[in-house]
Amino acid sequence: MPSAAARPAVGFALLALAGLALPLFTRDAYHLDVATTMAMNLSLTMGLRLQMSTGQINMAHISFMGIGAYTSALLVTRVGLSFWATLWIAAGVAAACAVLIGSLALRVSGPYYFLISFAFSEVVRLFFNNFFEDLFGGPSGLVGIPKPTPLPGLGLAVEGKLELYYLMLVLFLLAAVVFIRLEYSRFGLVASTIRQADLLAETLGVNVFRHKLATFVLGSLVAGLAGAFFVHSHQVLHSSDFGLEPMVLLVVFTVIGGTGSVWGPVVGTILLGVAVEFLRQLGHYETLVLGGVLMLTMLFAPEGLIALPGKVARRVRHRRTRKAATAVGVGLAP
């Protein structure tokens, strides 16, 4: 068992090894597609969880992915910039939008914030769908978006499923390093205090607003990065890609995995990502099964799957202690 200080590094190393080694076991196009989507969703859910650790349930998280996607698509197709430049510009634009939106929305909390973020996500989706049709493609969306150009300097083509998988994996691992580093720092320690007792945190010197804004912007920056990747790997773009349904799925992955730890969304996204592929055969019943899993998790493991082993271990320890006490005759006299 690694020491507490080494656990984040060991966890990250295992995650990176598993990701890098996957193509040694399968190069099937479908499997690589699933793994690429999983790496993208992991970037999104880890960012969402960072925001949730401060008590924000941001229903507009996926909108920042959309902002990144449209930014990159337009800069490549209309301006002629390289994908490698637009990847970072898209992340920057998503972050800049997050500064603007967050500065307003984060002045409220709880259900009000939830509703504002939900309203913003719908505004963004409808904006891409109904306005500037020449630019955003309207209800038909954008098609013919080119794949990433070869990597400058190395001339490495990023066109096949395997290369795209590795590119998304690298982006995810970069994001994961940041999220894990923050989780085990004072920043992570303080983030959760805002959810527990924000006024107390503020009176102890924590600038609650600034802290929430930082998590909001960072999560949105990574979402913008994922969006830029998404649009060039799928080569088509539609506003519904960033609508309510995929957003709810991200929340479900994060919450079922557990929002109390940086590893929660990792567990939730991987397990449910695989489960969703199997459930696909059930058609419309897929949503029903996912809803059921969410309800059961909330009833029996509200802290998420990540907290389950610890909970079981505590219960077993408690039972053993009680048994031992009964064996030596400790207890109340009748």
Partner 1 sequence: MAVSDLSMSVIKGTIHGLIGPNGAGKSTVFNLIPGVLPLTQGEIRFKGERISGLRPSEVCRRGIARTFQATTLFREYTVFQNVLVAAHRLAAPGLGSALVWSRTYRGREQAARERARTLLAALNLAAVADEVAGSLPHRDQKALVLAMALATGAELVILDEPMAGLAAQEKDATTEALRGLRREGLTILLVEHDMRAVMGVCDTITVLDHGVRIAEGTPREIQENPAVIEAYLGVEDPGA
In the bound state with partner 1, the residue whose beta carbon lies nearer, of 208 and 226, is 208
Segment lying near partner 1 (by CB under 8 A), choices 67-75, 140-148, 187-195, 306-314: 187-195
By CB under 8 A, which span of 94-102, 132-140, 174-182, 221-229 interacts with partner 1?
A: 174-182
Interface with partner 1, residue 3, by CB under 8 A: no
Site string for partner 1, 131-170 (x = CB under 8 A): ----------------------------------------
Q: Which lies closer to partner 1 via its Cβ, residue 139 or residue 302?
A: 302
CA distances from 228 to 100, 251, 252 (A): 20, 21, 23
In our burial notation (b when 16+ CB lie closer than 10 A, e otherwise), range 116-131 reads: bbbebbeebbebbbee
Please choose, out of 51-59, 158-166, 205-213, 268-276, the segment that lies near partner 1 by the rule CB under 8 A.
205-213
State the minimum distance, in angstroms, from the CB of residue 110 to partner 1: 18
Give, as ranges, the residues between 218 and 247 that touch partner 1 (CB under 8 A): 218
Choosing from 34, 151, 162, 206, the residue that interacts with partner 1 (CB under 8 A) is 206
Mask for 252-291, x = binds partner 1 (CB under 8 A): --------x-------------------------------
Closest by alpha carbon to 99, among 194, 221, 192?
Answer: 221
Residues paired with residue 151 on neighbouring β-strands, in sequence order:
156
14 binds partner 1 (CB under 8 A): no
Instruction: Look at residues 188, 209, 225, 180 and name the one whose alpha carbon lies nearest to residue 9.
Output: 180
What string of DSSP letters covers 24-36? HH---HHHHHHHH
- CA end-to-end span of the chain: 44
Cβ(21)–Cβ(166) under 8 Å? no
